[in-house]
Structure 1
């Protein structure tokens, strides 16, 4: 866990890509769930932020 946090603080690609991927996955789950309209409402924004974050992070050094 400390390596993950250290990677985030040093702006390394691995940790940030993992965070962006988790954000994309959470957005997709929010989109597919049938229970809460609030989660569905923000699912596109969460997925979009994760996708843009992944594109930007892919230019970080390893």
Structure 2
């Protein structure tokens, strides 16, 4: 009786990425970038896009929290 060393089913790239952990990390990073954009005093364009960026990250986090573990 022979056992293969790699008998576990392989997961594709999308199965590894489309999970709650990595997507929550991305959403949290987007929220943090939006807050940094809000607090920086140098570029008006970054400041003006900060609310939209933070809002996008928050909505993404809320959606991702419903994704499978």
Report TM bin, short chain.
0.7 to 0.9
Q: Please state which structure has a larger fraction of its residues in helix.
A: 1
**3-state secondary structure, aligned to 2:41:** coil
Which segments of 5 or more consecutive residues in structure 1 lack a partner in the other structure?
1-5
Distance 2:37 2:67 in 1: 28
Deviations 1:5-27 (A, max 9, x none): x4xx2210000000000000000
Q: Determine whether 1:34 maps to 2:41.
A: yes
Distance 1:51 1:12 in 2: 17
Larger radius of gyration: 2
User: Which TM-score applies when normalising by structure 1?
Assistant: 0.85
Distance 2:63 2:51 in 1: 18
Runs (4+) off by over 2 Å? none
Aligned to 1:3: none
User: What does 1:1-62 correspond to in 2, within 5 Å?
Assistant: 6=13, 9-10=14-15, 11-62=18-69
Deviations 1:8-56 (A, max 9, x none): x221000000000000000000000000000001000000000000000
